Amino acid sequence: MGRFILRRLAMLIPVLVGVSLVAFLILHLAPGDPARLMAGIDASQEDVEMLRHKFGLDRPLPAQYAMFVRGLFTGELMSLRYESPAMEVILPRLKNTLVLACASIVVAVVLGVSAGVLSATHRRSWVDYAATVLSLFGISMPVFWWGLLLMLLFSVKLMWLPSGGMGTIRHIILPALVLGTASTGIIARMTRSSMLDVLRQDYITTATAKGLTRQLVVNRHALRNALIPTVTVVGLQFGQLLAGAVLTETVFTWPGIGRLLVSSILARDLPVVQATLVIVALFFVFVNLAVDILYAILDPRIRYHG
Amino acid sequence: MKTPLLSVRGLTAHFHTEAGIVKALEDISFSIAAGEVLGLVGETGCGKSVTASCIMRLIPMPPGRIVSGEILFDGRNILALPDDEMRRMRGHDMAMIFQDPMSSLNPVFTTGYQVGEAIVTHEPQISRKTLLGRVLDLFRKVNIADPETSVNRYPHMMSGGMKQRVMIAMALSCGPKLLIADEPTTALDVSIQAQILTLIRRLRREEGSSVLLISHDLGVIASMADRVAVMYAGSIAEISRVKDLFDAPQHPYTKGLLGAIPRLDRDQGRLAVIAGTLPNLMDLPRGCKFRERCAEALPVCAEERPALTEIRHGHEVACHARTRR
């Protein structure tokens, strides 16, 4: 297991090289001149050229890429927009987004797995139909609209929860719920189908024939097996939450990495955009590693060989 | 005759499917005395396993439905028991060994845990130490090599024969009065089959449990059972002591089955085949279910379903050709 983890960590290197190269190239292919944007509409051509030179934007691409990578490692990579180190801009917002994504995934796993299990054990009952309808509703609901609806109800009408910003636990409830809604639906559907599959297995009959209660058969014998495919989905969803929090963050003015990314793209703050993409990719790889480790914990048949 | 341990009377079970109602069991009656081994034979789909599942009340309802009949276990009709009381009997008073040991054990728990769980369920106050001792004893009893290591093994680390031993250990864990073995050797290699059968025979002698042994293999039945019931298309065709059945089969279907067994002691030429196929359980004919495949059919066979009738002491057969002469 230790060797497996080390090997997976070593695989980070090519992944990160690839991500940083792609991010770097795409942004340089995109139209728009960062120097012109920074200098402002009225600036003279000389001012623009001066800025261009100051930030090294006039150097050849390979040199710029090398500068970017060096900057990432030394922490000297500067944001064009804020004129402070890019990491100082990114890290606090990354933390905010991680907090939000973790809260959402907890909501999604708790609600999704429970709904999926109930659906499967009460197949073709009203519980199952209700859970199915709600799941599809959750999956298809546009985040901005759903967010606004909840905000209207809980913040404006009932005045129970704040409509935006962050700070207290009350601030996170609505955004976490909204961001986790689609994942809840997907996890519920996945859990339902894998649970139905597991409940048909012979070892479930064996467990029943032993005299176990239905509750133990479901929660002990079936759930653990049914969770194996669900874990894959949870891992993928977590990656989605990290990258896809933009809309939720915008609706609830949550100062996270999604909003930073979008505003940095609009401002052509290339170093911040590139560094953000690399960091998000890094987290994605870590989440996948965590999923693989969880597999081995859930299913003893899976053993990784270094 | 003293009251049998298990007595099935007029058991009829249906499955409601989208295509129609499958009449899986029709008026099944038999009994098993304490310490007796009853063999249940018949071809695939004739209702052997459904019968076993009804006795354990493991039939999923819906789609399954027990239409009529009763199953008396120790004098109590278990079909009328509340779910929780039935649950406490499962694994404790009656236990089951399944056909496929490969899929009958939960892949994510150790074998020791799964056997121990059967004991804890019925004796919740047992201490960890006593429990481990009991599990190790059971593993030794069913000849699992190196029990101390084996209890910590997961099913995928064991061979099919070893897994079936674990299943047997699990079934015996609470000393059940009735052991139902549903094709316990079908999924195993021939050499392992013999070992498992020897094991079941030995344990039966030591534990004194009654056994309902389900098999489509007449050889297995001949070597294990005291009495045998032959099933055909959801009904019992014939019940008798094993010796009588093999020496003097009465039902044409039983004769056909015995004729289809290759024998080493005489030259048979081609094996006999029973012509035709099983009737559709969703659309059973009037009269005898075996009539269309039967060489001895009488006119009455098309009209009336034959009832199981005792023609000699302990030998019952459901055939007009035998009972109407």
The b/e string for B65-96 (b: 16+ C-beta within 10 A; e otherwise) is ebeebbbbbbeeebbebeeeebbebbbbbbbb
Which H or E run contains B37?
Answer: strand B37-41
- The predicted model gives B147-172 an average pLDDT of 92
Confidence of residue B2 (pLDDT cuts 50, 70, 90): low
Residues B187 and B160: beta-carbon distance below 8 Å: yes
Interface contact flag, B87 A211, Cβ < 8 Å = yes
**Distance between CA atoms of residues B68 and B90, nearest Å:** 22
Total residues belonging to chain A: 306
Nearest to B104 by CA among B94, B118, B86: B118
What's the pLDDT tens digit per position in A181-238? 999 999 999 999 999 999 999 999 999 999 999 999 999 999 999 999 999 899 888 8
Interface contact flag, B88 A211, Cβ < 8 Å = yes
- The predicted model gives B248-265 an average pLDDT of 84
Closest residue of chain B to A227, computed from CA coordinates: B108
Please tell me the predicted confidence (pLDDT) of residue B30: 93
The answer on pLDDT for B1 being more than 60 is: no
Cβ-nearest to B108 among A209, A210, A224: A224
CATH topology of domain A93-266: MetI-like fold (1.10.3720)
Please tell me the predicted confidence (pLDDT) of residue A146: 92
Has the ipTM of the complex gone over 0.90? Answer: no
Please give the residue that has the higher pLDDT: either A209 or B284.
Answer: A209
Please tell me the predicted confidence (pLDDT) of residue B325: 58
The answer on pLDDT for B316 being more than 80 is: yes
Question: Would you list which residues of chain B are within 8 Å, Cβ to Cβ, of chain A?
Answer: 56, 58, 87-92, 95-96, 98, 100, 103-110, 117-118, 121-122, 154, 156, 167, 170
Nearest to A128 by CA among A199, A179, A180, A176: A199
Q: What is the pTM of this model?
A: 0.84
Q: Is A299 on the interface with B (CB under 8 A)?
A: yes
Q: How far is A112 from chain B (nearest CA, A)?
A: 22
Interface contact flag, B108 A202, Cβ < 8 Å = no
Q: How far is B121 from chain A (nearest CA, A)?
A: 6
Please tell me the predicted confidence (pLDDT) of residue A36: 78
- Mean pLDDT check: name the lowest of A32-41, A167-176, B162-171, B224-233: A32-41
Q: How many CA atoms lie within 13 A of B117 on its CB side?
A: 22
Phi and psi at B282, nearest 5°, equal -85, -15
- Ordered by start, the domain boundaries in chain A are 23-86, 93-266
The answer on pLDDT for A32 being more than 80 is: no
What's the pLDDT tens digit per position in A1-26? 778 788 878 888 898 889 889 888 88
What's the pLDDT tens digit per position in B193-236? 888 888 888 888 888 889 999 998 888 899 899 999 999 999 99
Interface contact flag, A209 B167, Cβ < 8 Å = no
Which H or E run contains B308?
Answer: none
Q: How many CA atoms lie within 13 A of B85 on its CB side?
A: 8
What's the pLDDT tens digit per position in B80-119? 999 999 999 999 999 999 988 889 999 999 999 999 999 9
What's the pLDDT tens digit per position in A69-91? 888 888 888 888 888 888 889 99
The answer on pLDDT for B25 being more than 70 is: yes
Phi and psi at B102, nearest 5°, equal -65, -35
- Across chain B, what does the average pLDDT equal? 89
Chain A residues close to B105, C-beta within 8 Å = 203, 206
The answer on pLDDT for B238 being more than 90 is: yes
Mutate to test the interface with A, among B86, B104, B154, B166 (most CBs of A within 10 A): B104
Q: Is A303 on the interface with B (CB under 8 A)?
A: no
Most confident of A275-289, B13-27, B272-286: B13-27
What's the pLDDT tens digit per position in A98-107? 999 999 999 9
Chain B residues close to A212, C-beta within 8 Å = 87, 117, 121
Please give the residue that has the higher pLDDT: either A49 or B115.
Answer: B115
